[in-house]
Amino acid sequence: MSKEIARRDFLKAAVAGVAGIAAVGTLGGFASAEEGKAFEGKPKFAGIGSVRAVTDDIYYVGVSDRRIQLFENVYPIPRGVAYNSYVVLDEKTVLVDTVDRSVTGQFFENVTAVLDGRELDYLIVNHMEPDHSSAISEVLVRYPNCTVVTTAAAALILNQFFACDISDRSILVKEGDTLSIGKHTFVFVQAPMVHWPEVMMTYDTVSGALFSADAFGSFGALNGNLFADEVDFEKDWLPDARRYYCNIVGKYGPQVQAVLEKAGTIDIKILCPTHGPVWRENLGWIIDKYVHWSSYTPEDEAVMVVYGSVYGGTESAANAVAALISQAGVADVRVYDVSKTHVSELIGEAFRCSHIVLASITYNMGIFTPMKNFLLDLEAHNLQNRCFALIENGSWSPASGKLMKEIVERLSGASVIGDTVTIMSSPSAADHDALAALAAAVADSVQSGGAAPVEAEASGGKRWVCKLCGYVYEGDELPEDYKCPVCGAGADQFEEG
């Protein structure tokens, strides 16, 4: 068995070559519509549950959940969510990831149908979060000869979650290890902290499919359509794909960038994420979104106006500034009530827009609670490189402007433009002049591309990379007692590079 696992020099060499993000921008050759659609209409297993053919021997066996209200018990998902899983049929059979326990009935019907009486030889576990792993124990009971292929970190977490010890039936893989199952050879690519430490991706060198774990995923149940080219993705899926990425993975931009660098060196033809549609066309489009999101570069020169208002004065000011910005020629302006817009929607929109106007009452001598939650969530998700403008309201002692500014200024590459407008209860005529000046400053900044990301200055020092999560420490020396701020690993887990 162990002979099947061997280092793949080409991948290591490719990764060492680091084509970089610039290469990711030239992704025209990644996808081939003809190749991707070659298996369209294959009748095998059609009409069985949610099974669909991805290629002639890779089958989608995932399941959508339309009953769930809150993903991770936090994020509203009125469109539901799909838990994606795939079976590869070759001399050996392979299941790539499993599903949430809520949908195991349909899942095992799908798997049973596709295996069509064959044994399951391998289960590849790319990600241990329970929405993809809570069916693993049942897989191992149903298929007693199945060997789990995963990382050491995933095996540990599997045991923590489910008391499932796989030490006698697992192959633990590292970066560049391979598994051959006949025609197909899989290469394992580590993706630590995208968005958990144990995450890896699996690349099939034959089909060009990259089983990418949560990367390139989206909220939203599948509706018979499996492929992104079968739906109007930009219109119907992009907002949920963005909301999914920014809220679930958004904090870990540097780690995503590291994986995108690797992706730029691999001939990917199909992206098979663990949620949402599969990509077989125009891969460069979705990867470009990831380049923007992970580098905290705005997608659009656009303004979001977010207000927190109790009796309408702050809302009136927000509406006024939005109208004035629009009148100044900015087409993309959207206004949000922070009290009734779920914070995950606001986080997604903040990742999209170049400019953010914040208008808040003063509440308990501080920022209005929903607005404070939003700003702290922005900080937690590491949003960077945005222009902010501020409006405060307070009937006797306005303080929210100063306090919002303190949070905003903690965001890397953030700037505050114009003067904070202060309103006492309701906007006065004089306030309208101040709002007009603020709107003009925002419009000027939008039209001059004011939120362009700040180029990081070269540190001039050495770099150490955390082997567990990919965090990069820069400095003259790595302190002996250093702890990784992302995953908590000690200095012994860092390597210079």
Q: Where are the beta strands (DSSP E) in 345-400?
A: 353-363, 366-367, 387-393
Quote the least distance from Cβ 391 to ligand FEO, whole Å. Answer: 37
User: Closest CB to ligand FEO among 275 and 467?
Assistant: 275
- Does 381 engage in binding with ligand FEO (CB under 6 A)? no
DSSP 127: -
For ligand FEO, which stretch binds (CB under 6 A), given 128-136, 169-177, 278-286, 333-341?
A: 128-136
Alpha carbon distance, N-terminus to C-terminus of the chain:
33
In degrees, rounded to 5, the angle at the alpha carbon of residue 409 between the alpha carbons of residues 399 and 257 is 145
Query: Within 145-204, which residues bind ligand FEO (CB under 6 A)?
Result: 195
Nearest distance from C-beta of residue 410 to ligand FEO, angstroms: 27
Of 181, 30, 212, the residue nearest 118 (C-alpha): 181
Q: Which is nearer to ligand FEO, 76 or 366 (CB)?
A: 76
Amino acid at 56: D
Could you say which residues in the range 198-227 bind ligand FEO, by CB under 6 A? 214
d(CA 309, CA 489): 43
- Strand (E) or helix (H) holding 302: strand 300-308
243 φ/ψ angles, rounded to the nearest 5 degrees: -60, -40
With CB under 6 A as the contact rule, which of the stretches 58-66, 127-135, 158-166, 480-488 interacts with ligand FEO?
127-135
Locate tokens 């700003």: which residue? 375
State yes or no: residue 132 binds ligand FEO (CB under 6 A): yes
Please state, in angstroms and as integers, the Cα–Cα distance from residue 126 to each residue in 214, 254, 300, 346, following that order: 9, 20, 33, 30
Per rule CB under 6 A, is residue 131 in the interface with ligand FEO?
yes
Task: For ligand FEO, give the closer residue by CB, 93 or 98.
Answer: 98
Q: Tell me whether residue 129 or residue 229 sits nearer to ligand FEO (CB atom).
A: 129
Q: State the greatest distance between any 2 C-alpha atoms of the chain, in Å, as a whole number.
A: 79
Q: Which of residues 262-301 bind ligand FEO (CB under 6 A)?
A: 274-275
Shortest Cβ 469–ligand FEO spacing (Å): 14
DSSP assigned state of 260 = H
Q: Which stretch binds ligand FEO (CB under 6 A): 10-18, 124-132, 322-330, 383-391?
A: 124-132
**Contact residues for 472 (Cβ-Cβ < 8 A; gap 6+):** 254, 463, 464, 465, 466
State which of residues 129, 175, 177, 349 lies at the interface with ligand FEO (CB under 6 A). Answer: 129
What's the closest the beta carbon of residue 218 comes to ligand FEO, in angstroms? Answer: 11
Compute how many residues bind ligand FEO; rule: CB under 6 A: 8
The region of 125-133, 363-371, 386-394, 482-490 touching ligand FEO under the rule CB under 6 A is 125-133
Residue 240 lies near ligand FEO (rule: CB under 6 A)? no
* Tokens describing residue 17: 């070559």
User: Is the Cβ–Cβ distance between 418 and 395 less than 8 Å?
Assistant: no
Q: Is 400 in the site for ligand FEO (CB under 6 A)?
A: no
Is residue 326 classed exposed, middle or buried when 0-12, 13-18 and 19+ CB atoms within 10 A define those classes? middle
* Interface residues toward ligand FEO, by CB under 6 A: 127, 129, 131-132, 195, 214, 274-275
